[in-house]
């Protein structure tokens, strides 16, 4: 018994860990960081960056000489030509050859240089694309996170409404028993409670679906125990609305990754035109070749009378290797004269792509300007809507409390009371909607201003 006394301690520790895992509530910062680390789209974009890095190494390799070597060994049986002597002989010959070559581009219409510049720009574009993908994921996670918070608070509101109506049912029963109000009002309250129960079920389903959507963005396998913490504040922490919209737009032009990608793509298109035009120019290459060969043959040996006297051995391997070696080197100049309009068509296609990239950059700049001004207007409108919703809720709450007082003394029927309660419930829902809409609109505006969704 004493030997196994540690088992309860271990079980208790494991239970505490399990309870901690189940009770963990994810903050917005944790959700965004986890999504960036595990999102599949980001992982795919990271692979694109690695491919761009390989392309850069390939462009660097164009400046290096190409070195190749080859070797072969063959058997020739019967009447065949001795490749070394050139004579036809009835013999079995083995032939070994070794070849080596070196080639280097001396001038190629600056295509290698422009290819290298394009590869560097493509790598920068891939890195920008990875940054943009992370920003998009962060925005999507923030939106889904706030949607879960909205649905959680909406569920609380529905429970509160049902609790109020349950108390109202008890009060109505007392009034009916006292003969103050007709029994039909009691049925109206019961019907309202049934509707409240339906609203709670719908709110629970909506909350579950929103949690599932957020969990999928985070690539979580089990979302049943997944929950988030409400650590958001309804305030403009960075005082972004105090900034001039033109200042925000100027900052966005410097910070926004989409505009940087369009600018780099334009530079890549310019290099493609330069590479295509390089095909019009002559190319000059230097080359060096080395080769040697060795032949083995069983040559019949004859005496002075012509009689067969045995076989004659081939010269030694290394002697043949040294005697038969050969080298060549020189320059090769290629001048393009006519290639079926291939070079011309490639230049034309590259120019079209360049013009498309130029238009895309202009469109991206216009979209950014429109998005910034829209985001600024939306954020200000969301603030006003939120402030109005607060005032409306206060008024509806006072109206509902007054209606309850009138109902309790028999001066109002249940139908009018339900109408007042419905307006009060709608005001609560509108306040929640405007609250989280305002929070998200502020984060969008901060995003354009260069303030990240989460602090690093």
| Maximum average pLDDT range among 13-27, 214-228, 351-365 | 351-365
DSSP 8-state code for residue 316? P
Q: Which two tokens stand for residue 83?
A: 């490749």
Q: What pLDDT was estimated at residue 229?
A: 85
Does the pLDDT value for residue 14 go beyond 80? no
Domain 66-107+286-335 indexed as CATH 1.10.10: no
Q: What pLDDT was estimated at residue 86?
A: 67
Domain map (residue ranges) of the chain: 24-64+109-281+341-449, 66-107+286-335
Does the pLDDT value for residue 9 go beyond 50? no
Average pLDDT value for residue range 414-435? 86
* C-alpha gyration radius of the chain: 41
The 10s digit of each residue's pLDDT in 166-191 is: 888 887 788 778 777 777 777 888 88
Q: Residues 415, 418, 420, CA angle at the centre, nearest 5°?
A: 115
Q: What pLDDT was estimated at residue 308?
A: 58
Q: What pLDDT was estimated at residue 16?
A: 41
Average pLDDT value for residue range 192-216? 91
Could you give the percent of the chain with pLDDT greater than 90?
A: 48
Ramachandran quadrant class, 450 (left: phi over 0; alpha: psi -120 to 50; beta: rest): left
For the chain, the average pLDDT equals 85
Interhelix angle for 28-38 vs 111-177, to 10°?
Answer: 140
Query: 200 near 158, Cβ under 8 Å?
Result: yes
pLDDT band for position 5 (cuts 50, 70, 90) = very low
Q: Which two tokens stand for residue 23?
A: 């009770």
The 10s digit of each residue's pLDDT in 207-227 is: 999 999 999 888 887 777 888
> pTM here?
0.77
Half-sphere exposure of 187 (CA within 13 A, CB side): 3
Judged on CB neighbours under 10 Å (0-12, 13-18, 19+), 330 is exposed
Does the pLDDT value for residue 304 go beyond 60? yes
Report the C-alpha gap between 383 and 294 in whole angstroms: 90
What CATH number does the domain located at 24-64+109-281+341-449 have?
1.20.1600.10
Does the pLDDT value for residue 13 go beyond 60? no
């Amino acid at each position: 018994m004493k030997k196994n006394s540690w088992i309860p301690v271990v079980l208790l520790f494991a239970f505490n860990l399990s309870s901690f895992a189940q009770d963990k509530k994810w903050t917005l910062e944790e959700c965004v960081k986890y999504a960036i680390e595990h999102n599949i789209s980001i992982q795919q974009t990271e692979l694109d960056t690695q491919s761009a890095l390989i392309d850069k190494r390939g462009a660097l390799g164009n400046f290096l000489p190409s070195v190749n070597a080859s070797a072969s060994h063959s058997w020739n049986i019967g009447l065949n030509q001795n490749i070394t002597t050139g004579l036809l002989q009835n013999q079995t010959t083995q032939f070994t050859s070794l070849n080596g070559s070196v080639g280097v581009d001396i001038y190629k219409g600056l295509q290698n240089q422009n290819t290298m510049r394009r590869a560097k720009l493509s790598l920068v574009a891939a890195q920008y694309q990875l940054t943009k993908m992370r920003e998009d994921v962060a925005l999507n996670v923030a939106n889904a996170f706030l949607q879960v918070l909205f649905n959680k608070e909406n569920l609380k509101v529905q429970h509160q409404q049902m609790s109020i109506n349950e108390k109202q049912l008890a009060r109505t029963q007392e009034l009916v028993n006292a003969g103050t109000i007709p029994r039909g009002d009691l049925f109206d309250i019961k019907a309202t409670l049934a509707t409240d129960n339906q609203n709670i079920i719908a709110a629970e389903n909506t909350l579950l679906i929103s949690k599932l959507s957020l969990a999928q963005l985070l690539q979580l396998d089990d979302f049943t125990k997944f929950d988030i913490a409400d650590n958001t504040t309804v305030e403009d922490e960075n005082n972004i609305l105090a900034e001039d919209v033109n200042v925000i737009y100027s900052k966005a032009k410097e910070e926004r990754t989409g505009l940087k990608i369009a600018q780099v793509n334009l530079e890549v298109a310019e290099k493609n035109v330069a590479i295509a035009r390089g095909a019009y120019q002559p190319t000059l290459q230097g080359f060096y070749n080395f080769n040697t060969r060795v032949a083995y043959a069983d040559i019949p040996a004859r005496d002075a009378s012509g009689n067969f006297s045995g076989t004659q051995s081939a010269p030694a391997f290394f002697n043949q290797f040294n005697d038969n070696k050969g080298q060549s080197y020189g320059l090769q100049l290629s001048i393009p004269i006519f290639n079926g309009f291939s070079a011309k068509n490639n230049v034309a296609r590259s120019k079209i792509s360049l013009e498309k990239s130029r238009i895309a950059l202009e469109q991206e700049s216009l979209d950014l300007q429109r998005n910034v001004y829209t985001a600024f207007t939306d954020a200000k409108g969301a603030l006003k809507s939120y402030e109005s919703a607060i005032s409306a809720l206060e008024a509806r709450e006072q109206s509902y409390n007054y209606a309850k007082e009138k109902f309790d003394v028999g001066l109002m029927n249940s139908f009018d009371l339900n109408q007042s309660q419905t307006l009060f419930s709608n005001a609560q829902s509108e306040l929640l909607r405007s609250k989280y809409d305002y929070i998200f609109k502020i984060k969008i505006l901060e995003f354009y201003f260069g303030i990240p969704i989460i602090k690093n």
